[in-house]
A and B are shown apart, each in its own frame.
Chain A
C-alpha cells in the first residue's frame, strides 16, 4: 500500500523549500537582536534622596516571618527588615547596640544587663519595652516551642525586667557566645502574640515589627512587598519600597535581571566573571560586588575509621590536594584558601597560620611512613595487603561534586583510590551522617561570626544528630573550647581561639578546601553601596541605599 518515504521515487527537490523555511524561523529566533538603546548614564553621581522601589528575587519562599520558628534563611532575609534585635554586628563585624543603647557585663561575667533606647515603638504605635524582650525570650524557651535555635537561650537561668528600659539575663556560668545570641534574636511584640501558639499564629504571615520596613502584602508563591515603616525606631530608610519576587530558577532570575525587571541577584562565578563582563549592555547597568562569603567547603574524615585515625595519613591527604586548583577550577578563582574555620580578616582568624601547600612528594613520604607501599605495582598503595581505597560522599551540590572530582584525581596520583557518591540531602543526613557510616565527606560549614564552635569540634558532641559527626576527639581543643565559652573579654577570647585554630590546623581532622566569595549584581540605579565590601558585606547599610529619581523605574514607582 503506502510505501515509506525513502522507498518512493518521488523527487525531493521540494524539501529545499522547507529547509529554507526552517532556517528562516531559526534565524528569526536567534538572529534579530534588537538593541534597545539605553542612554541613561548610571555612573553619574546623585545626591542621596528618599523614594523609589528596590526589587530583588529569592529562590525559595519563607514559610513564615517569625524566623526563630521558621529557621530558614529566606525567612530571616525578609524578617530582618521588619524586626529589631537587641544587638547587631557593625560593618567590621564588631557587636554594637541595635535597640539596646548599652549593655553591661557583671564582674563575674554571669549577668548581662541591657539598657534599651528610649521611646521605642512598634509599627502599630504601641511602645516597645523590656517586657517585649522578656516575652520573646520566654517564647523561644517555652516548652511548647520547637525552635531550632533555642539552645543558646535555654542557658539563661534568670531573665528580669527591673524597669521598662532594662532587661537583664543571668547565666549559670559565664557564657561567651551570649552576646552573639542576643544579636540573633528578633524581638516580637508581646501585645500581639501573648497566649498565641507561635507555630500556627497568623502573625507569621502578617507581622508587626519595629524596624525600617513593614510588610504590605504577601502574594503566596509570587512576591512579598515591604514599605517604609514611618514609625521606625532607628530613623528612616531611604528607599520607599522593597519588593522580593520568588523566582525558583536561577536562569529565570538572571533573565529578569537582564530585562531590568529585578535590581539585584546573587551570582554564580560563571555569571560573575564570564557572562556579565562579556556583555557591554549588562556591564553598563549592573555593578558587581564581591564579598567574602559566610561559609567554607571542607573535606572531613571519619576519624573513627582506619586509616584516618592516623594523623600522618590525614596530613598526607592534605598535602596531596591542590586547593588552588579547586578554587580556580570550581570557583573560577573567586574563593580563597583558609587555614582556620574563621572568616579571614576578622578578629578570630589567626593571621599567623598558613594553609598546607600542595606537595605530593611530602604526601608520598608521609604515606610511606604510615606503612603504605605499592607492593603489587598497580598504582594503588596497600597496607597489610589491603589497598588504600575509600569513598567520598557529598550532597547534590555541583560545586562540592566538582571539588570531589579534583580531589579524586590528585589522590590517585599519590596512590589512593577514591570513589565519589552524591546523595540527596535527607538521605545523606539520616543514612550516612547520623549513622557514621562514611569514610569522608565534602561539605560546608559556616564561618560563624561568634568563634564558639563547641558543637562542631568538642568530643562530647558526637551522638547521632550532633555535629561532631567526624568524631574529632582532642583533649587540647576540648579544653580551649570550654575556656572560650567562659571568657567574655574579646582580647583574651581571641587568644584562646587563635590557639584553637592552630592546634586544629596541625591535627588536620579536616582539609579546608576553600571559602568562596559571595557574588552579587546590583543595578547601578541603587546608590550608596560600599564598594569594596566591608567585612560584614554590602548589606549592612541597606537603609542608607538610595535610588536617585531620574534613575527610577517608571511603571513600578507609579503604584
Chain B
C-alpha cells in the first residue's frame, strides 16, 4: 500500500516541469548552465525517473529519508551527527512538533466548544439558541481565515499590544524562566490556534447537533423519558454517548491532518511548521522533502483509519457484533 502511494506521488512530482536547478535564484546571468548540470548530477536528477525512484526506495528501506536539496542538505526527517560531532537537525523534526502542538490544541478547543454548542443547538432546536449558534458558526465558517487573522493581528497586536503579532517566541525567549517561556509560547500561539478553531467549528457543531437530533428522536429516548428519568440524565447519559459515535470517525480521519498544517496560517503568523515546509518544497522542487512528508502523511492516514475503526468497535458494541446500524 505504502509503496503504491509513494510510487504514484513520486511520478506525479516528477511530472511537474522543472527541478531544483530552475528556482528563481538560479535565473541569474552569472549562474552558468554547466553549474546547474553539475548540481543535477549531484542529486541524480539526470537519471531516468524510475532509477531515481529505485534509489529513493533503497534509502527508504533503511528509513533514510535523504537530505533536502534546497536547505543546505539538511536531513529531511531526523537529525544527523557528522564526524566532528556537529548535530544537524532534521527539517521534519523541527517543523512537526510545532504543527502538532498547534493542531492538537486547536482540535481540543474545537471539540470542547463544538460538543456543548451542538448539544445546546439540538436541545433547543429551532429556538433562539440554535439559531444564534448556527449564525455564529456560519459567520465563522464564511470569514476567510487570513482576513480575520490580519484584523485580529492589527487589533490585538498593533492597536493594543495585548498579543504578539507573529512568530512563536519572543526575541528574548532564552532569557526567560520556564514559566515565562510557557507563557511566551502560549501568547504567541493564541491567535494561530484559536482562529482556525473558530472557522473549523461549524462542521463539528453540525455533526454533534445532527447526531443528537437523530438520537433524541429514537424510541429508546422516548422510553427513557417515559421511565421518568430527568431530562438531564436522558440527554447526557443516554443520548450523548450515542450521538458522539460519529465523532470518532472524524477525529480518526483528522489524524493525518494534524501533521499537515496550513500554509496560509503559517505564512501569516510566521510559524515554521509543516504546511510551509511542504509548500516551499513543492515550489523549489525539493523532491526528498516532498516525498518525505508525503510518505509520513500517507502512513499516518493509514494508521488514522485503522485507529478510527478500532476505536469505533471499542466504543460501539453493535459494530463489534457485526450488526449494521439502523
Give complex CA distance A72, B70 in Å: 10
Q: Among A61, A150, A219, which residue has its beta carbon within 8 angstroms of that of B169?
A: A219
| Residues 507-559 (chain A) with a chain B CB within 8 angstroms | 555-556, 558-559
The stretch from B20-28, B242-250, B312-320 touching chain A is B20-28
B residues within 8 A CB of A249? Answer: 166, 267-268, 270
Task: Assess the B172–A558 pair: CB atoms within 8 A.
Answer: yes
Contacts of A217 in B (CB 8 A): 174
Residues of A within 8 A of B126 (CB): 2-3, 5, 8
How many positions in chain A have a CB within 8 Å of any CB in the partner chain?
A: 77
Q: Is the CB of A429 within 8 A of B36?
A: no
Instruction: State the Cβ distance, A466 to closest chain B Cβ, in Å.
Output: 6
Min CB distance A486 to B, Å, is 19
Q: Are B132 and A18 in contact (CB under 8 A)?
A: yes
Kindly state the separation between the CA atoms of A426 and B19 in the bound complex, as whole angstroms: 7
Interface residue A465 (Cβ < 8 Å from any Cβ of B) = yes
Q: Do the beta carbons of B165 and A222 come within 8 Å of each other?
A: no
**Chain B residues in 8 Å Cβ range of A556:** 171-172
Contact A2 B86, beta carbon cutoff 8 Å: no
Residue of A nearest to B168 (CB): A222
Query: In the bound complex, how far is the Cα of B17 from the Cα of A424, in angstroms?
Result: 10
Contacting pair B158 A455 (CB below 8 A): no
Known: A205-B72, A425-B22. A151 touches B32 (CB 8 A): yes
Given contacts A199-B73, A202-B88, A256-B166, contact A251 B30 (CB under 8 A): no
Confirm or deny: A448 has a beta carbon within 8 angstroms of a beta carbon on chain B. yes
> With an 8 A cutoff between CB atoms, is B125 at the interface?
yes
Q: Does A236 contact B (CB under 8 A)?
A: no
A63 touches B29 (CB 8 A): no
Report the minimum CB–CB distance from B251 to chain A (whole Å). 28
Cβ-neighbour of A255 out of B32, B70, B165, B168 (below 8 A)? B165
Query: Which residues of the partner chain A approach B164 to less than 8 Å between Cβ atoms?
Result: 261
B94 contacts partner chain A, Cβ-Cβ < 8 Å: yes
- Interface 9-residue window, one of B4-12, B149-157, B218-226: B149-157
Q: For A247, give the chain B residue with the smallest CB separation.
A: B270
Q: Measured between alpha carbons, how far is A453 from B18 in the docked complex, in Å?
A: 25
A 10-60 contacts with B by CB, 8 A:
14, 18, 29-30, 32-34, 36, 55
Residue contact A429 to B272, C-beta cutoff 8 Å: no
CB-nearest residue of chain B to A454:
B29
Which chain A residues border B158 with CB–CB below 8 Å?
255, 258-259
Contact partners of A34 in chain B: CB under 8 A: 159-160
Q: Is there an interface contact between B71 and A255, defined as CB atoms closer than 8 Å?
A: no
Given the known interface contacts A70-B72, A425-B23, the answer about A252 and B268 at a Cβ–Cβ threshold of 8 Å is yes
Picked from B19, B70, B86, B271, the residue with its CB within 8 Å of the CB of A63 is B70
Q: Is B231 an interface residue (CB 8 A)?
A: no
CB–CB B27/A426 < 8 A: no
Give chain B nearest CB distance to A376 CB in angstroms: 38
| Chain B contact residue count (CB 8 A cutoff) | 70
Min C-beta distance of A402 to chain B, whole Å = 19
Whole-angstrom distance from the CB of A37 to the nearest CB of chain B?
Answer: 13
> Would you give the shortest CB distance from A435 to chain B, in whole angstroms?
10
Q: Which of A80-88, A141-149, A359-367 contacts B (4 or more CB under 8 A)?
A: A141-149
Question: In the complex the two chains form, what is the Cα distance from A426 to B282 in whole Å?
Answer: 10
**Contact at A150–B18, with CB atoms within 8 Å?**
no
- Max chain B Cβ within 10 angstroms of own Cβ: one of A152, A246, A249, A467: A249
Q: Closest chain A residue to B36 by CB distance?
A: A465
Most buried by B among A55, A206, A426, A427: A426
By beta carbon, the residue of chain B nearest A427 is: B17
Contact B32 A221 (CB under 8 A): no
Cβ–Cβ < 8 Å partners of A445 in chain B: 29
Contacts of A558 in B (CB 8 A): 172
Structural contact, A248 and B89, CB atoms closer than 8 A = no
Who on chain A is nearest to B166 by CB?
A252
A69 to B134 Cα, complex, angstroms? 55
Let me know if A252 and B39 touch, CB within 8 A.
no
Given contacts A222-B168, A223-B171, A426-B22, contact A148 B94 (CB under 8 A): no
Q: A202-B82, A556-B172 are in contact. Are A151 and B34 (CB under 8 A)?
A: yes
A residues near B35, Cβ cutoff 8 Å: 146-151
- Given A34-B160, A199-B73: A246 and B270 interface contact (C-beta under 8 Å): yes
Least CB separation from B95: chain A residue: A221
Q: Is B59 in the interface zone, CB < 8 Å from A?
A: no
- Chain B window 209-248, contacts with chain A (Cβ cutoff 8 Å), 1 for yes, 0 for no: 0000000000000000000000000000000000000000
Residue in A71, A248, A261 whose CB lies within 8 Å of B25: A71
Most buried by A among B35, B36, B88, B169: B35
Roughly how many angstroms separate A71 CA and B171 CA in the complex, as a whole number? 28
B128 within 8 A of A: yes
A387 at interface by CB-CB < 8 Å: no
The reply to whether the CB of B177 lies closer than 8 angstroms to some CB of chain A is no
Q: Which of B29, B166, B174 contacts A247 (CB 8 A)?
A: B166
Q: Are A149 and B30 in contact (CB under 8 A)?
A: yes
Q: In the complex, what distance in Å separates the CA atom of A135 from the CA atom of B236? A: 75
B16 touches A251 (CB 8 A): no
Within 8 A of B (CB), among A360-393: none
- Report the bound CA distance from A395 to B24 in whole Å: 10
Q: In whole Å, how far is A232's beta carbon from the nearest beta carbon of chain B?
A: 23
CB of A220 closer than 8 Å to a CB of B? yes
Known: A151-B34, A259-B157, A426-B19. A252 touches B72 (CB 8 A): no
B155 touches A29 (CB 8 A): yes
B100-116 interface bits toward A, Cβ cutoff 8 Å, 1 = contact, 0 = none: 00000000000000000
Determine whether B175 belongs to the interface, using a CB cutoff of 8 Å to chain A: yes
> Is B33 a contact of A463 with CB atoms below 8 Å?
yes
CA distance A29 to B149 in the complex (A): 12
Q: Are A427 and B167 in contact (CB under 8 A)?
A: no
Given the interface pairs A255-B150, A259-B157, the reply to whether A146 lies near B30 with Cβ below 8 Å is no
How long is the Cα–Cα vector from A72 to B126 in the complex, in angstroms?
Answer: 59
List 18 A-B residue pairs with CB atoms under 8 Å apart, sorted by A's residue number: A5-B131, A63-B71, A72-B25, A148-B32, A199-B72, A223-B171, A248-B267, A249-B267, A259-B157, A425-B18, A426-B17, A427-B18, A430-B19, A445-B29, A455-B32, A465-B36, A558-B172, A559-B175
Known A30-B155, A206-B86, A456-B29; 9 more pairs at CB < 8 Å: A8-B126, A34-B160, A72-B25, A205-B88, A220-B94, A222-B272, A247-B270, A431-B17, A455-B30
> B residues engaging A (CB < 8 A)?
16-19, 22-36, 38-39, 42, 67, 70-73, 82, 84, 86, 88-89, 94-95, 125-126, 128, 131-132, 135, 150-151, 153-155, 157-161, 164-169, 171-172, 174-175, 266-272, 276, 283, 285
Residues of A within 8 A of B (CB): 2-3, 5, 8, 14, 18, 29-30, 32-34, 36, 55, 61, 63-64, 69-73, 146-152, 199-200, 202, 204-206, 217, 219-223, 225, 243, 245-249, 251-252, 255-256, 258-259, 261, 395, 424-427, 429-431, 445-446, 448, 453, 455-456, 463-467, 555-556, 558-559
Cβ-closest 10 pairs across A and B: A221-B272, A426-B18, A64-B72, A202-B86, A148-B31, A465-B33, A151-B32, A430-B18, A72-B25, A146-B38
